[in-house]
Amino acid sequence: MPSLARMNSKIARWLMLPLLLLIQACSGFPFLDMGMAAWDGPKKGTPALWHVTSPQGGEAWLFGGIHALPSDLKWISPKMKQAMDRSDRLVLEVVGLEDSAEITRTFQQLGNSPGQPPLADRLPPDLRDKGEALRSVSRLSPARFETLESWAAAISLAGAATANLAMVREEGVERVLAARYRRRDKPVIGLETPARQFTYFDELEEADQRAMLESVIADADNAPKAYRDMVTSWLRGEPEKLAEAANRGLLQRPQIRERILVRRNRDWAGQIEDLLSLGARPFVAVGAAHLAGDDSVQALLAAKGYTITRVQ
């Protein structure tokens, strides 16, 4: 049976992208800029969109997004525009990304503990050279890992692994949609805070954190292809491919799956229920991985009696 470090980790990268953006937003972290590579994939598409109807007739929309995209993609369709016009607010996975000082403080607080082992000691022998090479690219000194917890080390190194991809924060779904809603004087709220997102990783057992670290390093060379495949599947509206990925890789570990995916989906479904009970008509945009598979947000809502209709 292959080690966790060798398993497909594409789904983990989908779930880690929001955290990568948090780290990249911090001026104290010397990561490379995004968007250095040219995008050679599709230039337009119709990502998946669902309509939710409550037993009482309330309605919401669920849209799976990507947190950083290549420039000049066309993905807002007429059906999306109609749904956004009918909604009364935008609900994002996380708000508060603009406050880089607070994000830096939170990461430093949660991601650092004294007396951490050197990076090499947290890796199997066959990954140590590759880990050192990625550390060098990250421009983080070896001494920095004396305090970085394993989950924080994984995210920091993943930031280096994805730094040269053709993705731009300003083109991400959240920023584009938030700007649209604010121009129309509609509220923009979040399901989570940046601190809450960091905490999900901080609460993982050390063995699971090291599995993350191994996976990031082992799969670093595949990052460009994984990102291209991810964006292409998203533009084509293929959530089933995410469901396939969710059954492999890091999410085979029960604690990672529960804390990083299922628990959050359950919480978000509850928040959407609360909004509908108050008469709101939210357009909910979260990471596309959360809207795929048996534990998806829409599957949880359907199990509670909500009608879910695929719009596109």
pLDDT of residue 66: 84
For residues 279 and 215, the model is more confident at: 279
pLDDT of residue 169: 66
| 284 within 8 A of 63, measured Cβ to Cβ | yes
What is the rounded CA–CA span in Å between residue 86 and residue 81?
Answer: 9
pLDDT of residue 166: 66
pLDDT of residue 150: 97
Q: Does residue 249 surpass a pLDDT of 80?
A: no
- Our count of domains for the chain comes to 1
For residues 122 and 72, the model is more confident at: 122
Q: Does residue 277 surpass a pLDDT of 90?
A: yes
Q: How many helices (H) and strands (E) does the chain have?
A: 13, 6
pLDDT of residue 4: 37
Quote the percentage of the chain above a pLDDT of 70: 84
Q: Does residue 221 surpass a pLDDT of 90?
A: no
pLDDT band at 53 (very low <50, low <70, confident <90, very high): very high
For residues 20 and 44, the model is more confident at: 44
Q: Does residue 247 surpass a pLDDT of 60?
A: no
pLDDT of residue 37: 67
Residue-averaged pLDDT of the chain: 84
pLDDT band at 276 (very low <50, low <70, confident <90, very high): very high
Q: Which residues pair with 308 in a beta bridge?
A: 52
Q: Does residue 19 surpass a pLDDT of 50?
A: no
List b or e across 234-267, with b for residues whose CB sees 16 or more CB atoms inside 10 angstroms.
bbebbbebbbbbbeebbbebeebbebbbbebbee
Average pLDDT of the segment spanning 149-169: 81
pLDDT of residue 26: 38
Among 7-11, 145-149, 199-203, which stretch is predicted with the lowest mean pLDDT?
Answer: 7-11
Q: Does residue 237 surpass a pLDDT of 70?
A: yes
For residues 80 and 166, the model is more confident at: 80
pLDDT of residue 30: 36
Average pLDDT of the segment spanning 216-229: 82
Q: Which residues pair with 192 in a beta bridge?
A: 94
Neighbouring residues of 299: CB distance < 8 A, sequence distance ≥ 6? 293
Strand order in the sheet with 282-287: 188-192, 89-94, 282-287, 59-65, 49-53, 307-310
Among 42-51, 103-112, 161-170, 263-272, which stretch is predicted with the lowest mean pLDDT?
Answer: 161-170
Domain extent, residue 94, equals: 4-310
| 255 within 8 A of 205, measured Cβ to Cβ | yes
pLDDT of residue 10: 45
Q: Does residue 6 surpass a pLDDT of 70?
A: no
Q: Does residue 43 surpass a pLDDT of 90?
A: yes
- Predicted TM-score (pTM) of this structure: 0.86
Among 38-47, 267-276, 287-296, which stretch is predicted with the lowest mean pLDDT?
Answer: 287-296
